Structures are given as C-alpha cells and as structure tokens.
Amino acid sequence: MTMEDSTRPVDRRLRVLSSAIAILDSLGGTSAFEALEIRKAVERGTEPDQKLVRSVESALLVAAMSPKLSQEEAPKEGGFLAAASGVFRRLSRPMPTRQQVRRVYKEFGHAFRRKPTG
C-alpha cells in the first residue's frame, strides 16, 4: 500500500463531510457542528465517534425529507416580479435539492460505514 492509497479514503471522506456540512448548515440545527467534529477527527487521523456518525447520518436522512429543500426543477417564471424575486433568492443562502441531499446521504453512509472485520 502506497502513501497515495492510504490518503484517498480520507480525501473522499473530507469531501463528503464538506458536502454534508453545507447541507446541514443550510437547513439549520446542531448537526452541522457534529459533522465538523467528525471532520476534525478525520483530519487528525483518528476514527470519529460512531455516535456522531450515526447522528449526522440520521440528520441527513431527516434533511432528505425536509419541506425546506428547493425544488429540483423550478419552473421558469417570466416578468419583472419573477426576476426581482429571483435576485432575492440568489442573495439568500441557497437551499440544496432533495436529489443532492439523497446523494450526500448515500455517500456519507458508504464513507463512514464500519467495515466488517474477519
């Protein structure tokens, strides 16, 4: 096993954590802080607390069902009022789509699921 082989899973886990933190932060709550704790553990090279992993995974599952998520295919609106409301939507924090949350949930599960030993 080369040095590059040992860093790839960590890099993937950091990428997944960044996505999870962004999603959880956009929806509010304390789960983004738990994901940050997991990120710190991964950066230190230690295994994260499995309670935190389960908590973040559960939060992502709940987030996938959130009514706050943006629509995957927002209808195109015309006119001045639609353009003005679009400007205000872009200024606020963008909400992830349900499809994005599902993808991150699956990637998080694959990245942090305990491998069977034996």
β-bridge mates for residue 97, sequence order: 70
Which has more confidence, 28 or 62? 62
Boundaries of every domain in the chain: 3-112
Helix (H), strand (E), coil (C) string for 15-65: HHHHHHHHHHHHHCCCHHHHHHHHHHHHHHCCCCCHHHHHHHHHHHHHHHC
Q: How confident is the model at residue 83 (pLDDT cuts 50, 70, 90)?
A: low
- pLDDT tens, 6-27? 556 677 899 999 999 999 999 8
Select from 60, 67, 70 the least CA-distant residue to 101: 60
Lowest-pLDDT choice from 35-39, 40-44, 73-77: 73-77
